[in-house]
Structure 1
Amino acid sequence: MLRLAWANVVVRRSRLAMSALGVALAVAFVCGTFIVTDTMRTALIDSLSQSPSQLSAAVMRLGQARTVPRELVDRVRAVPGVAVAEGDLYGAMTVLGPDGRRLSAEGDRGVLAGIPADERLSPVRLVAGRAASARNEVVLDQITARAHGLAIGSTVSLPDPAGGTDPYVISGLVQPGPKLAKYGTTAIVGMPYERAAVVLNAVAVGRIDVLAQPGVTPEELVTRLRAALGSGYGVLTGEEVRRMEANEALSALDAFISSLVIFALISVLISGFVVYNTFSILVVQRFRETALLRCVGATRRQVLRTALAESALVGLFASAAGLAIGVGLAHAAMGTVIDMADGIDLAGTALDIRPGTLVLAVLTGLGMTLVAAAIPALRAGRVLPVAALREAHAAPASGRRRRSAVLAVVAGVAGLALAGYGVAIADTGDDSQTELVFTGAGAALVLVAVLAAGPRYLPPLAGAIGRGARRLTGTPGRLAVENIRRNPSRSATTTAALIIGLTLVTLVSVLTSSMAASIEAGYAKHSPFDYTLVAEGGNAPIPPKVQSALESSPQVGGLVPIRQGGVRADIVVKGELLRPQGVHPKVAELAPGAVTRGTLAGFGPGSIALERKLAERMRIDVGDVLDVRADATGIAMELRVVALLDGLSPIGPVAMAEPDFVRIAPDKPVSVLLLRGANGVAEPRLRAAVDAAVAGYPSVAALSRVVAARQWNTSVETLRTLLLALLGLSVVIAFFSLANTMSLSVAERRGEFGLLRALGMTRDQLRRTLTAESVVMSMLGVGVGIVLGIVCGWALSRSLAIVSEARFAVSGAFVAAFAALGVLVGMAAGVLPARRSATAPIVESLRKE
């Protein structure tokens, strides 16, 4: 029987080629995914394991406020056993090129980093030139230098505290380390630590990294630091810090891996439909052949083993090809991964190809092929010897149709219930993870119900679509529709792969479109200010001339000054350290409704507003009266919570009324201005007024709401492109499924087409019949997939709202493009089978195998 299986594969290799290609692509996706992620994981672990003996300990702040007072660095240095102690020092800073233009993109500000004298704690790595040492020298990241044509010796400018600019000479080019790599392509400049503290006007630093003196163990050093600093700070050994960073980085990588695995499994699932369709049709085509085998003594078990052996051979050959393709894809993908690796240089890194990955990929391809072919193999094993006398096999059993109907009803009801519950709790503002789980599970069950109910609804849908086909092609169109309707089970399995692929693609489009619309709506409500002006350089104030020029401008409708917080303005609420900012009470008249709950209408002395997620974590709600104590001075006050803020709110996450804020931090200047244009003032006129006010003050950055929303939407578009690229392979396999099924279906009906030719059907009419059938099938799959994707996308967009202003949006251009693509793919899928059938001699077509 094994020899028979091999002979069947060899003889019918052209009919099995498309199934093998689908399996190979799925295996390639699985193999490439694990090779790339294993390589990333190895590089990440190696990167984090380079300094176990260098970093002895770290001191950090506990609570929502993360930075520590700069003077704490001196206290740490004074602890016995400390050799070197440096705090993370970097902040936003406009970086101007020799031509006076920003080196970063519109709306982006650069980053100024303080470079410690001890290079072991440096946040950058020198790659060319020398470290900055003189007062007027800086180092620049090599990506920015390359992008703007700058080199060692070129000049850049940074704002000075007086509102002008200071020139600096580039002494070297650097590569940012993991701490700064999160800023992506933002311009990064570095200068000596103490000079950076002056330029940034820094009164606080981030985590303090500590190196121990020889002979002092990290554990001993941690004990001494805890005793010297008290309980207000967290102190960890270097190994604990590294383990924490590794866990955070690996958890982010694991999320990335999980996403890739999900898309790989989708490809495997769709490839399974291709294999199932192929073997289902082959069983029908070899019906009499199988019956003759039974007549000459083959048992049911032998027939079953032969069919499974045939599928196993296809799976093995396809998996071997998929491994080769997967290794090539992984190699090609490394250039893309370098940009996603969060500061880990993967250039020149050898692929981490593990035996387990190869075995898993082969088992995936083989297992998927065997599972998909199992049901057709069981049907082949149930063929009776007497069936050799029949011309065609019986129609599908009614019991199978009833089981499909029951599955569709149960899965549909359960799916709608779960999805409805997920949407309902989303409206209550509960945990978004729970909402997403319920809604996602419900959407998956609804998809199962739609696939199971395919034989019920596809025939009438085909009839509806066929009316147009009949008008265009006449009798060929009517025959095409009848061919689809007379075998609804085969039509349902043929369109299943297309339905899955188009559902997922449409869902991704709806989600990303809804995210973009939600962000725009969120900015419109929660950040109803046309411009945000920020003074760069730590505690640098907005120049009074800028504020007075804007207040006197007829194009400006109102200003809300904000005093940004710092370590000397931190407050303690319910035992947790929070960092507020002082907001002028004018926000009550300019944006009273820019909240998710409550109102800013009564915002003033004695009021406080918190970001919604922060408030929910601390179990605080509107109307609560909080006992607030200033951490630095001990000043106590009672503040009433008047509003909960959205994550996009410019006054969050903790907003105190300016008079209360000044009581605890009188030295904090106005460093942010929120600006609204006057009624009826067009954007160009407002922009001109803002530019005129900040002219000559490069230290003041003006960011428009339009630009801020555009930056968010650019990230959403990047996400959409990535997801659609990952789903692209699944859609390609789905289109292969249609082409493969059409080819096998035409081969199965060779005698039928020969008879039609003998009765007078022309070659052109036969070609049009088969092309119309393929187009109608593709339109069914694409249409059902798009509708289902829109419905599931609506439910998931409600559960996955990244801002409180959830909006639903559908890209009409996207839907139209895929509808047109479905027609084109249907035509392409039917061209070759139609040509073969139309050109085959009538006598050859009528010959029985």
Structure 2
Amino acid sequence: MEATVEEADGIDKGTITAVGEVSNLPAEVKQAGSDRKPESLYVQGVDEGYSESVGYGFQTAAKEYGSSREVWDALHKDGDKAVIASGLAPARNASTFGDVEPSLKLTGFYGDDANLPEDLTLRVQDPASGTTKELRVIGVLESSASFAGQIVTSQETIDELAGRAVPPQTYYFGLREGADAAAVARTLEKDFAASGLQTEVTAEMIRDSDATRRIVFLLLRGFMGLGLVVGICALGVIAARSVVERRQQIGMMRALGFQKGQVRLAFLIESSFIALLGLGAGVGLGLGFSGTLIDNIREGFPGMEYVVPWSALLLVIFTGYAASLLTTYLPARRASRVYPAEALRYE
């Protein structure tokens, strides 16, 4: 595939930086040394191009490997090695509500251990050829490795199990930075139309699968925005009631020599104190809780970053404060026009 892509029409040289081939073989799998019944799973075989280019990390690995790159290198260089998805690894803090039972039960370790035991081995048999191999598990993939299989080994190991060359069913193409992924995908489909190649842009797949969550967040933002509007209107109502309920106090202030602008300013300062206190408390609690939430989520998704949208946050603060002053201005203006004699007679 890599050699063929270099000759493809419409793709500039250097646009595709890596090509990874992935094949799948149905097999019967169980933990070596256990008396459990084998489970039917697909074992994924990856070639050297995939192993050298993939960026997935590991929750835990065998102690002789110091980095994720060493694990991937060992997968296709040493032979009879495998890595497993995080969903297959037992968890210490697994809850009983909503958990999905793993398709293959493994024991003797946990997914958050510092290192995997040396004797963690899977017994894999190809039902078609009858060939059986024992694969040592050297790594547990991070939970964000959503496009990896449950059991991943080298392409050579898959071929030995099947007793033949298993053709790849999936190809991954790495592109140079700035390349138009959608345009490259269309070009590949055109050049390989006779082979029935179908392409998908990984970023678009992730966005599509994440669409529901983003819609829920938009709804939550809408409800929070509605709450902000209601709070601002409440400030206006409070200011209007203050003019009525504190009419005699306003008259006393005017009788003591307060000018109209001073009375108006007093109401605006009072409203500003309430608005700024509410905005400050909301921003502080939001930043505090969101940071803690992202830290907890980052345990399962190490690549997640906590980024505060300062421009949007400042816009909300400024808009909220300006709107609160606007809703308070009309009652404050009304209060400043109260005549002292009329206000002092008011009951």
Tell me the TM-score normalised to structure 2 length: 0.74
What does 1:146-545 align with in structure 2 at a 5 Å threshold? none
Given the alignment, which residue of 138, 145, 164 partners 1:642?
Answer: 138
Q: What amino acid is the match of 2:287?
A: I
Match of 2:4 in 1: 549
Q: 1:723 aligns with which of 220, 225, 240?
A: 220
The 3-state SS of whatever aligns with 2:198 is strand
Deviations 1:104-145 (A, max 9, x none): xxxxxxxxxxxxxxxxxxxxxxxxxxxxxxxxxxxxxxxxxx
User: 1:229 maps to which residue?
Assistant: none
CA shift at 1:668, angstroms? Answer: 4.3
* Counterpart in the other structure of 1:654: 151
Deviations 1:462-512 (A, max 9, x none): xxxxxxxxxxxxxxxxxxxxxxxxxxxxxxxxxxxxxxxxxxxxxxxxxxx
Structure 1 residue 835 displacement after superposition: 3.0
C-alpha contact 1:571 1:577 (8 A) present in aligned 2: yes
CA apart distance, 1:732: 3.6
Q: Quote how far apart the aligned CAs of 1:752 are.
A: 2.1
232, 235, 241: which one aligns with 1:735? 232
Contact 2:75 2:81 in 1 (8 A): yes
Counterparts of 2:260 and 2:295 in 1: how far apart (Å)?
Answer: 53
Match of 1:694? Answer: 189
Match for residue 73 of structure 2 among 576, 591, 601:
601
The answer to whether 1:683 aligns with 2:143 is no
> Does structure 1 retain, via aligned residues, the 8 Å contact 2:43–2:153?
yes
Q: Determine the structure 1 residue equivalent to 2:301.
A: 803
Q: Structure 1 residue 560 and structure 2 residue 20: aligned? A: yes
Partners in 1 of 2:302 and 2:27 — Cα distance? 27
Where 1:800 maps in the other structure, the secondary structure is: helix
User: Which residue of 2 is the match for residue 458 of structure 1?
Assistant: none
Tell whether the 8 Å contact from 2:247 to 2:346 is kept in structure 1 after alignment: no
Change over 3 Å in CA distance of 1:844–1:631 after alignment to 2: farther
> Secondary structure at the residue paired with 1:603?
helix
SS in 2 for 1:703: coil
| Aligned-residue RMSD, C-alpha | 3.0
Match of 1:320 in 2: none
Within a 5 Å distance, the mapping from 1:625-640 to structure 2 comes to 625-640=121-136
Alpha carbons 1:647, 1:653 under 8 Å: kept: no
Percent of aligned pairs with the same residue? 21
Q: Deviations over 1:258-300 (max 9, x none)?
A: xxxxxxxxxxxxxxxxxxxxxxxxxxxxxxxxxxxxxxxxxxx
Contact 1:610 1:655 in 2 (8 A): yes
How far residue 612 of structure 1 moved from its aligned partner, in angstroms, is 1.1
From 340, 343, 346, the counterpart of 1:845:
343
Runs of at least 5 residues in structure 1 that lack an aligned partner in the other structure: 1-545
Q: Determine whether 1:588 maps to 2:51.
A: yes
SS in 1 for 2:303: coil
Q: Specify whether residues 804 and 715 from structure 1 end up closer, same or farther in structure 2 by C-alpha distance, changes over 3 A only.
A: farther
Aligned to 2:283: 786
Q: 1:638 to 1:592 in 2, by over 3 A?
A: farther
CA distance in 2, matches of 1:592, 1:809: 22
Higher helix share: 1
SS at match of 2:307: coil
Residues 819 and 682 (structure 1), Cα distance of their counterparts in 2 relative to 1, 3 Å cut? closer
CA distance in 2, matches of 1:815, 1:583: 45
| Change beyond 3 A, Cα 1:745–1:592 | closer
Counterpart among 813, 819, 827 of residue 311 in structure 2:
813
Alignment counterpart, residue 829 of structure 1, candidates 314, 327, 343: 327
Rounded Cα–Cα distance in structure 1 between residues aligned with 2:53 and 2:122? 26
The Cα offsets for residues 761-817 of structure 1, whole Å up to 9 and x where unpaired, read as 232332232123213321220122112101101111222346332321211222112
Asked whether the 8 Å contact 1:771–1:834 carries over to 2, the reply is: yes
- Specify the alignment match of 1:571 in structure 2: 28
Does structure 1 residue 756 correspond to structure 2 residue 253? yes
Q: How many residues align?
A: 298
Distance 1:554 1:744, change over 3 A: closer
SS in 2 for 1:577: strand
Q: CA deviation digits over 1:684-720, x for unaligned, max 9?
A: 4x77666544324343233334434444565543232
TM-score, normalising length: structure 1 = 0.32
